[in-house]
Structures are given as C-alpha cells and as structure tokens.
C-alpha cells in the first residue's frame, strides 16, 4: 500500500503524518506538493492539518483550487482512499468531496484539547479496526471546526451511515457539554456516500504513541493497512 | 473597473462573531438589533466580465454565505 501526503503552503502536520506512515506503519510514503497534477500509483492520499494558504478567504478554499486539488478529486472518483485531517477535512468540503461546511467555532476561540469520540461507522477502510460505538480519545486543535449541514441533508447522511465520528463524553454519551465547537449532531468526522473519502477534525497522527499519552489514533492507521 | 464583493454569513446561520459584536454594542447602550460580520473583497478588473460566475465559483460558499456585488 502506497501513501501520499499532500503539502500545501502552510500545511504543518505533514511531517507528523509522514512519520506515522513510514515509521509506525512501515509503509511506503511520499510527499506530493500542491502543483502535482496526478496521484496515479498511490492507494491512499492523506491531506494533513495546518493552515493551507494561511486560511485566507475561507479555510481550505485556496488549496481546493490548486492542481493537487483537482488531482485529489480525480483520484477519489476512481475509488482511491482519501483521508483529510483538520485542515484536510476543510479542504475536502471545499472540494465538494464531502458535504457541508466547517465554520468558526461557536465560542470564537481556537480550541486545543483532548476530546472523546464515538465510532459510529466501523465499515470503512479507515475505521474497520474500531468496534462500533467504541469511545476513543484524540486531540483537537482548530479555530474553524463547527460542522454545519442543513437538517434535511443531515438526515440523509445519517441514513447512509456517513456520520463516522461524534464528540461524546468519556462514557460515550453524545451531550452538548461534550461538543467542543458547536457542530451539528456533535459531528467530528464524516465520509462520502461511497465511503472512500473520510474527513475528521481530530488529529489521529498525534495520538499514536504512549509517550505522548495516546494510543487510539493508531487504530485508524492500522485499519488502513489491515 | 473596480468592484466590491460583500460576503456575509447566510441568513439564519449562527454568526458568533456578529453576536459578540452586537452584545458589546448593546452593552455600550446602542439600540442595535442585529449585527453580521463578513468580509469585503475588492477586485480591480482588466476588462468587463461576468463577475457573478467568478464570485460564485471561487469567492463564496453558497451553503453558508451570501453576497452582494457593488
């Protein structure tokens, strides 16, 4: 399995992601920069976190208009696996590969803390090593993570199993207090209707080593190569 | 030719920035009913063109924003 890690001007989780894939998973991985026109030959493309193009205009929008943005659309339409983390999730919504939008956090602050998440869909290539309903811990670090989608579209997404992760408390209860940013339905991660494109606000690449106090993130990465 | 594109959060959507500014103005004693905070993009064109198409495709996310071209 061959991975690509996208690098836009302002990406800043690219090396962490590269490290996880190369050193923890032991898989082949390359950086691809924003001028790249084709992703042929890769099996999974990861769009890492950061502030691509300074988050100018709207988070993710300028990155979505680059040659690499077009290549990601093309790659996903051919069935390739695409994972967008944090700014990568924002880029995927701007590419219209995922529905909805990510808006400024309800409290207007940049939030950097640990959250608990409930795995709602474990049928994806990205989540198949999770138990359904499993509660996991990962850090979030974002200013624009409030997921929004109109209510009628949200219902359709729920019916199709497109809600992958929800913010919850330590016991797995979906509560308002456990919702850090005001996302509709406590949504932290979603997939497209085909299930090959997945975006999430939390950072699984920062949650893979006991030394850092986490181990749940690695389950997501292992799912991809299981 | 210069045009200004005013981009605002879509009606009905929670605008925490607008709400915070409104609360501050109300606390200061101003009779303010609603505040929306958006952005202005000023564009100087080389020649006349269909700006609406460009704005809708590149500058605005119609799911969450509305705009006025001046």
Identify the segments of chain A with pLDDT beneath 50: none
* pLDDT the model gives residue B1: 86
Q: What is the rounded distance in angstroms from the CA atom of residue B3 to the CA atom of residue A214?
A: 51
pTM tops 0.90, yes or no: yes
Put simply, the chain A residues between 138 and 167 with a CB less than 8 A from any chain B CB are 148, 150
CA atoms within 13 A on the CB side of A36: 23
Any idea where the domains of chain A sit in the sequence? Answer: 2-225
How far from chain centre, in Å, is Cα A133? 18
How does DSSP assign A60-80, residue by residue? Answer: THHHHTSHHHHHHHHHHHTT-
Across the interface, whether the CB atoms of B16 and A105 are under 8 A apart is answered yes
The CA distance from A48 to B67, in Å, is 30
CB A37 within 8 A of CB A75: no
Q: What is the pLDDT of residue B2?
A: 93
Asked if residues A42 and A2 have their Cβ atoms less than 8 Å apart, the reply is yes
CATH 3.30.830.10 for the A2-225 domain, yes or no:
no
H/E stretch holding A217:
helix A217-225
B64·A103 Cβ contact <8 A: yes
Cα dihedral A86, A87, A90, A95, rounded to 10, equals -130
ipTM of the complex: 0.86
- pLDDT for res A30: 98
Does A122 contact chain B (CB < 8 Å)?
Answer: no
**pLDDT of amino acid A64:** 97
Within A55-130, where are the H helices? Answer: 61-64, 67-77, 87-94
The chain B residues in contact with chain A (CB within 8 A) are 13-14, 16-17, 20, 39, 41, 58-59, 61, 63-64
Contact assessment for residue A85 and residue A17, using Cβ atoms and an 8 Å cutoff? yes
**pLDDT tens profile B13-52:** 989 999 999 999 999 999 999 999 999 999 999 999 999 9
The rounded distance, in Å, linking the Cα atoms of A102 and A122 is: 23
Question: How many CB atoms are closer than 10 A to CB A40?
Answer: 10
Which chain B residues contact residue A96 at CB under 8 A? none
| pLDDT in the model for residue A101 | 98
CA dihedral for A12, A15, A16, A21, sign (positive or negative): positive
Active site residues of A: 86, 203, 205
Q: What residue ranges define each of the domains in chain B, with the CATH number in brackets?
A: 2-69 (3.30.1280.10)
């Amino acid at each position: 399995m061959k991975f690509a890690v996208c690098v836009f001007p302002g990406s800043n989780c690219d090396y962490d992601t590269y490290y996880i894939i190369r050193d923890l998973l032991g898989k082949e991985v390359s950086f691809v920069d924003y001028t790249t026109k084709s992703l042929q030959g890769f099996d999974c493309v990861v769009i890492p976190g950061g502030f691509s193009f300074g988050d100018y205009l709207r988070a993710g929008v300028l990155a979505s208009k680059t040659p690499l943005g077009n290549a990601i659309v093309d790659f996903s339409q051919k069935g390739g696996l695409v994972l967008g983390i944090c700014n990568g999730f924002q880029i995927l919504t701007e590419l219209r590969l995922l529905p909805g939008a990510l808006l400024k956090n309800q409290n207007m602050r940049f939030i950097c803390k640990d959250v608990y998440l409930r795995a709602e869909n474990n049928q994806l290539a990205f989540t198949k090593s999770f138990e359904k309903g499993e509660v996991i811990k990962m850090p979030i670090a974002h200013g624009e993570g409030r997921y929004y989608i109109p209510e009628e579209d949200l219902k359709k997404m729920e019916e199709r199993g497109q809600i992958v992760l929800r913010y919850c408390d330590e016991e797995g209860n979906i509560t308002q207090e456990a919702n850090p940013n005001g996302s509709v339905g406590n949504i932290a991660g979603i997939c497209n209707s085909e299930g090959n494109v997945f975006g999430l606000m939390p950072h699984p690449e920062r949650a893979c080593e006991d030394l850092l106090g986490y181990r749940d993130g690695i389950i997501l990465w292992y799912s991809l190569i299981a | 030719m210069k045009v200004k594109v005013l981009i605002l959060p879509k009606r009905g959507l929670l605008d925490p920035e607008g709400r915070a500014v409104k609360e501050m103005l109300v606390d200061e004693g101003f009779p303010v009913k609603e505040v929306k905070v958006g952005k202005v993009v000023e564009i100087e064109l080389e020649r006349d063109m269909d700006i609406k198409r460009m704005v809708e495709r590149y500058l605005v996310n119609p799911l969450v924003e509305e705009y006025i071209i001046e």
